[in-house]
Structure 1
């Protein structure tokens, strides 16, 4: 099937607002899409990959819903990826570029004040019902009014939606200047108007939903497993964005109570693949019979995206963390070098940025002229050493004593109104001891936190480590019912609207958002706006670095570690393409081949 042609006007400033540009192969956030209009497949897939077989994955925790678009309940893994589709598909070897999927073409003016999509004539839901403009408008309305907070926040920037043709729909945006909105709307999941009731949309359900994606829900064992079956009549199987993808006939996700059970299932062959996040296990845990027999592969795959931020978030809504000096003291008490060596075999790197491992990081870089201009209205928002690129989170000598850290921390705590009395840190005015609770979900988290609690105890701070089950952990996380909590905020090469959901002032008050720290900072809001309004890659990178500097200066989280590579272990019956994209491996490009001597090129897909 010939690739759909997408129409793009962004960036051609000499064209009038309504004019169409030459046909393009996609829509990029900055610059032009890499692929030509007639591209056949993404470069990181094997277009001749075998079709068939069964892939089995594992998830820790449980689920009680098949609706991934609402706050209530915990949705089963894979619903967004396998059952529901978006208007456009993302390329994972470009910072932020979309290509046609449900939408065959896209048009947007240079100022990106509106976007118009024309639907693919063959697009249909898995029950055979064609996808219409009315379905698109219905999806927008339901997600705006009843979806997760990120959908509600993003879609409020749409001021008008109208049907402009039998297969075309136009979204007009407000005057916020958010240039990401045409891409945000391109990633909107499309729901079936004939199979959903808006009034019950926010209720959890275990009834198999109707989507348009390559798989349908086959079996559900509530809270324990979900099985997806490849739809042989999938309408989009021959599109360029899908060629070489979705190769397994069946995908099963089993749920386990703890990480140890997940690993045991993998070792026994009940699970085919695992992302390894534990340096201890990576260094010492893979000496089991199947590995020694050569039936399991262990690979450190390259990844070129920002590492994101793994950290302990201070809930600044709580009075004990309202003073930044207290947060700075607690960060200084974390002995990174000793922890990394004794707990993690020195395999981790210390996070010095919210965008570590990429050009978006401000660490070690002096703020450029664009950054300084953006930050000028907020003279106290960034610490001088962070502005100059000379700041690093302090590292100890690795002895486990961290004497300098304790001295600096106690000085900061004294300035914040605390004093050490009979071995207990107390509020100087009230005499109340300084105590707090850290929420944990896994034993691995608990081990790290107990180590940290021991360091805090040396300065008179009593910390309670509370490990809770997955459901309670998510509930407390979504309602901000914690003092401190571990979390990971992933990052891409094109951060955008999600930054508002994570760090924006409005999100601090929206339950279910990822602004766990409760950040309410005018400079943060302004830098996010600058990111969204940036017209060139250069201005965009400067705006992201400026945001990084403000967040680092606020001491909202205690940074932890990141992996230098993507650690993956898998049974060799699962095969992968030779090329790994910027964003790391994509499991939907893998395939099943039980015979190790037979390649995909030798057999009919």
Structure 2
């Protein structure tokens, strides 16, 4: 295991210095843009600080995925595409540095200019930018991409399209976006949309495409081969136009990126042990400690690397669908939190080695304090006092069990909470006043064996309350369709959160998204307080308001009792990989995140 050239405290210091920079610098034509202050890298930067500009080219990384796919178009709601294609097979006008909270540098665009209040953003496309077929990337391609994604693409793209008042060509290679609301982050978000080749899609049904169209890309990789549901292989384009762009120096070093698909976690792990897959992220600490002693590790062919980071926890656990009457009452959701025997589950799953997620933005300066709200946080929440749930202002911590399988005290508290909500045990069965039993399903995507095992323990605990719950395993396509349409009672959720929260918070928790099919607001929350905190952090022009609004939002989310948090699996990223697969000594502040593997990895014999 190699040493990494930063400490966690150094990461936090660097990251927070940037995120807490007071005020905003006035933007002008520039090589990059930052949400707060100026971008850290100068106009003449050679490469990203965590990329090795002299890294050798060659080699192959084989990654495993649990599930399947039936589409090569990752930009639409229909079908299931390998998620990596969004990032590996397409370029955007700007690229994000993951060594800063939120800064972008030019990729397809050579410069960005914004209005005095970021009410518009204008990009100039590099003259050398080309698609993989050799044709130039034009303003027409850019404008068409934004319109088709905004009107026919996945829901993740439609919010931005609704915030663009006008899109216009302002020169041979320049395009300007004017926004219809006061939202300073839009100038950055608008630079991050994938750019597609318009001519490839003429006469074709974009929103219903599947495996029939292999994308023409402006990215370093092109799809070389694939077999539906089994594998996708990307090949590095030897004629890639952007190899000398500073942002891309030291990236896209591997000749081949292959994604193999497996039915479940067990098959995936066995494929790694057998050498079919040569890099694997492990999220179970106990498994990392006890099951990575197979011959390839012992003789050094496989290396175990641990990658630190300074990110917030995010939320990982079991989300309750508040659109369902059973989970619309916060007291029922609190009862579920008491019945979920975390201490016992953590001991069974990880030997008690992993901490529990305590709040959405915990593990960072943006996380809520667990005592009473004070100062600016309290000021922001006070107008919503009547609609806030208990703990938002007073302080809140998750229930703690006694570590035993029976969890007697918490089960008793759960019983009382259910009674307060109108549910009592009648003849050994939890029922409401009308005699309707409390019954629900926990939806799990096929292959998520660890999550299914946790759910099984939870189901056993619920039996002590007279509640009948069952674990329902479905394949990837069914899972996506059902979650897109909120057709579940409870399911496993993952929402990673950054050190620079912004418009994605609307997609995750915004009231307007609650009834929008395909939205990320799986819990169906409609909270005026959350909406207001999101708007405050989006429009913040001071350090105090930005941090306070995020801390306040964290309180609203955590005390909403929407999710039963599980153990924090990502305190470190644990990657086992072939010894020839290397990464630079300097690590990004975000650690193992987008832009890390396979982007800056390389192959060295």
Same fold? TM cut 0.5: yes
Q: 1: distance between equivalents of 2:224 and 2:313?
A: 35
Q: 1: distance between equivalents of 2:538 and 2:484?
A: 26
Residue 289 of structure 2 corresponds to 283
Measure how far apart 1:366 and its partner are.
5.1
SS in structure 2 at match of 1:562: coil
1:381–1:274: structure 2 CA closer, same or farther, 3 Å change rule? farther
For residue 11 of structure 1, the aligned residue among 24, 29, 33 is 24
Q: Does 1:439 align with 2:443?
A: yes
Moved more, 354-363 or 316-325: 354-363
Q: 1: distance between equivalents of 2:371 and 2:53?
A: 41
Q: Does 1:578 align with 2:589?
A: no
1:210–1:54: structure 2 CA closer, same or farther, 3 Å change rule? same
Measure how far apart 1:211 and its partner are.
1.3
Equivalent pair of 1:77/1:253 in contact (CA under 8 Å) = no
Q: 1: distance between equivalents of 2:36 and 2:336?
A: 39
1:229-240 aligned at under 5 Å gives the runs 229-240=235-246
Q: 2: distance between equivalents of 1:485 and 1:535?
A: 37
1:102-501 aligned at under 5 Å gives the runs 102-175=108-181, 177-197=182-202, 200-206=205-211, 207-364=213-370, 367-383=373-389, 385-388=391-394, 390-427=395-432, 429-441=433-445, 442-501=448-507
Gaps of 5+ in 1: 1-9, 14-19, 596-605
Equivalent pair of 1:30/1:536 in contact (CA under 8 Å) = no
Moved more, 477-486 or 357-366: 357-366
Q: 2: distance between equivalents of 1:127 and 1:317?
A: 47
SS in structure 2 at match of 1:313: strand
Measure how far apart 1:369 and its partner are.
2.9
Measure how far apart 1:422 and its partner are.
2.2
1:241–1:154: structure 2 CA closer, same or farther, 3 Å change rule? same
Residue 516 of structure 2 corresponds to 510
Q: Does 1:589 align with 2:588?
A: no
Moved more, 254-263 or 294-303: 294-303
Q: 2: distance between equivalents of 1:218 and 1:537?
A: 47
Q: 2: distance between equivalents of 1:41 and 1:82?
A: 18
SS in structure 2 at match of 1:241: helix
Q: Does 1:70 align with 2:76?
A: yes
Equivalent pair of 1:381/1:550 in contact (CA under 8 Å) = no
Question: 1:113-141: CA deviations, max 9, x gaps?
Answer: 11111111111111111111111111111
For residue 568 of structure 1, the aligned residue among 575, 578, 589 is 575
Q: 2: distance between equivalents of 1:159 and 1:280?
A: 52
Measure how far apart 1:213 and its partner are.
0.3
Question: 1:426-476: CA deviations, max 9, x gaps?
Answer: 11x211111111111222111101101111111111111111122211211
Q: 2: distance between equivalents of 1:372 and 1:165?
A: 49
Measure how far apart 1:538 and its partner are.
3.2
Residue 601 of structure 1 corresponds to none
Q: 1: distance between equivalents of 2:454 and 2:25?
A: 52
Equivalent pair of 1:118/1:168 in contact (CA under 8 Å) = yes
Residue 20 of structure 2 corresponds to none
Measure how far apart 1:279 and its partner are.
2.8
Measure how far apart 1:481 and its partner are.
0.7
1:353–1:92: structure 2 CA closer, same or farther, 3 Å change rule? same
Residue 12 of structure 2 corresponds to none
Moved more, 536-545 or 319-328: 536-545
SS in structure 2 at match of 1:376: helix
Measure how far apart 1:370 and its partner are.
2.6
Measure how far apart 1:371 and its partner are.
2.2
Q: 2: distance between equivalents of 1:65 and 1:227?
A: 14
Query: Could you state the TM-score of these two structures normalised by the residue count of structure 1?
Result: 0.92
Q: 1: distance between equivalents of 2:404 and 2:67?
A: 37
Cα RMSD (Å): 1.6
Equivalent pair of 1:65/1:75 in contact (CA under 8 Å) = yes
Q: 1: distance between equivalents of 2:470 and 2:280?
A: 31
Q: 2: distance between equivalents of 1:365 and 1:198?
A: 59
Q: 2: distance between equivalents of 1:469 and 1:234?
A: 37
Q: 2: distance between equivalents of 1:49 and 1:173?
A: 40
Residue 11 of structure 2 corresponds to none
Query: Could you state the TM-score of these two structures normalised by the residue count of structure 2?
Result: 0.92
How many residues were matched structurally? 575
Equivalent pair of 2:64/2:277 in contact (CA under 8 Å) = yes
Q: 2: distance between equivalents of 1:532 and 1:199?
A: 37
SS in structure 2 at match of 1:57: strand
Q: 2: distance between equivalents of 1:510 and 1:315?
A: 14
Q: 2: distance between equivalents of 1:426 and 1:444?
A: 30
Q: 1: distance between equivalents of 2:367 and 2:577?
A: 32
Q: 2: distance between equivalents of 1:548 and 1:351?
A: 12
Q: 2: distance between equivalents of 1:233 and 1:445?
A: 43
1:504–1:364: structure 2 CA closer, same or farther, 3 Å change rule? same
Equivalent pair of 2:429/2:467 in contact (CA under 8 Å) = yes
